[in-house]
Amino acid sequence: MMHAINEIEVTYRHEIPATFWKKISTSGDAADVLYSHWNPNTIGLNECFKVLLLNNAHKVKGIYQISQGGITGTLIDIRILFAVILKT
């Protein structure tokens, strides 16, 4: 018996050529990239969980916000996290 299963669609727009992708060599590089994608005026307002997606050459493919919570924390649905990771 066949089961119907929903397909999750994550859109990935490849607007910047891979030759221009930022390479992550240190944790400081990763922190700089992530910090540049947060609004500095609201960074301390609430918790947010973002994923920095890299290719095998440690170049940034993109950043995806998984969740945004309250003042003390945010909940992450592991299924959404893995869906985004596996689709990119």
User: What's the burial of 25, exposed, middle or buried (CB within 10 Å: 0-12/13-18/19+)?
Assistant: exposed
Q: Residue with structure tokens 């950043």?
A: 63
pTM value > 0.85: no
Please tell me the predicted confidence (pLDDT) of residue 25: 97
C-alpha distances in angstroms, 55 versus 9, 28, 45, 72, 75? 20, 18, 31, 32, 26
Please report, for the chain, the start and end positions of each structural domain, with discontinuous segments joined by +.
Answer: 18-87
Please tell me the predicted confidence (pLDDT) of residue 87: 82
What distance in Å separates the CA atoms of residue 13 and residue 74, rounded to the nearest whole number?
27
Q: What is the pLDDT along the chain (88 residues), one digit of tens a residue?
A: 567 766 666 677 777 888 889 999 999 999 999 999 988 888 889 999 999 999 999 999 989 999 999 999 999 999 999 988 888 7
Please tell me the predicted confidence (pLDDT) of residue 8: 60
